[in-house]
Amino acid sequence: MYDVVIIGAGVSGSASARELSRYKVNACVIEKTEDVCSGTSKANSGIVHAGFDAPEGSLMAKLNVEGNLMMEELSKELDFPFKKNGSLVICLSEEDMPKLKELYDRGIRNGVKELKILNKEEVLELEPNITDDVYAALYAPTGGIVCPFGLNIALAENANTNGIEFRFNTEAQDIEKIDGGFIIKTNQGDIKT
């Protein structure tokens, strides 16, 4: 019988497990495949977004900006590769400038720090390999890249070290509500929470 069962050992499940491991809690993560980071988390672009894309006022915008600020310290704490190399959104013509300005304004309202609109000369100085057709760019110095596997594995390892059990090859097939909890029906038998 667990206090909490997390279904899925991707980056969300593993981060939740790590957070939960700070508390006195009997918890497990069940994962249908044989390892962590087997779903979407293994196949993304590895960008730690600055936060100008997320809809203004949304939880996603709030967590994006907060999460971005946490990543550098987290990478040192858990020892996974992270590089704050900044990001550029390129604009190729004057007529597209209102769209770039819209992104900038949204970013400012979302609380993204250090956002700047660079002119052609400034962009080429920062990134000489960009096309000469560049007109301007939105520069977000807080954007970065992370190793998606490194992040996911580090979160799961740390959660496991701190007492969260990981049960692989265990697929949740049904969830039944019972008095005071749930029964999770899996291919490996019932798990109560």
Ligand X SMILES: Cc1cc2nc3c(=O)[nH]c(=O)nc-3n(C[C@H](O)[C@H](O)[C@H](O)COP(=O)(O)OP(=O)(O)OC[C@H]3O[C@@H](n4cnc5c(N)ncnc54)[C@H](O)[C@@H]3O)c2cc1C
Where in the sequence numbering do the catalytic residues fall? 49
Nearer to ligand X, 136 or 138 (CB): 138
Q: What's the min distance (Å) between Cβ of 114 and ligand X?
A: 19
Q: Which of 20, 27, 41, 153 binds ligand X (CB under 6 A)?
A: 41
Question: Which residue minimizes CB distance to ligand X?
Answer: 10
Strand-by-strand arrangement of the 82-83 sheet: 47-48, 144-146, 82-83
**Does 38 interact with ligand X (rule: CB under 6 A)?**
yes
Q: Is 26 in the site for ligand X (CB under 6 A)?
A: no
Beta-bridge partners for 185: 174, 190
Residue 51 near ligand X by CB under 6 A: no
* End-to-end CA, the chain: 5
Which helix (H) or strand (E) segment is 75 a member of?
helix 59-78
Helix H or strand E segment including 166 = strand 165-167
142 binds ligand X (CB under 6 A): no
Give residues 69-108 in contact with ligand X (rule: CB under 6 A).
none
* 58 touches ligand X by CB under 6 A: no
Q: How far apart are CA 162 and CA 21, in angstroms?
A: 6
Which among 45-53, 84-92, 111-119, 161-169 is the span making contact with ligand X, rule CB under 6 A? 45-53
The residue type at 44: N
Determine the Cα–Cα distance for residues 177 and 100; give it in Å rounded to an integer.
Answer: 49
Rule CB under 6 A: choose which of 2, 5, 6, 11 binds ligand X: 11
Structure-block tokens of residue 177? 């509500």
143 binds ligand X (CB under 6 A): no
Q: What is the sign of the dihedral through the CA atoms of 52, 72, 38 and 165?
A: negative
**Residue 39 in contact with ligand X, rule: CB under 6 A:** yes
Summarize as ranges the residues that interact with ligand X (CB under 6 A).
Answer: 7-13, 30-33, 38-41, 44-47, 49, 171-172
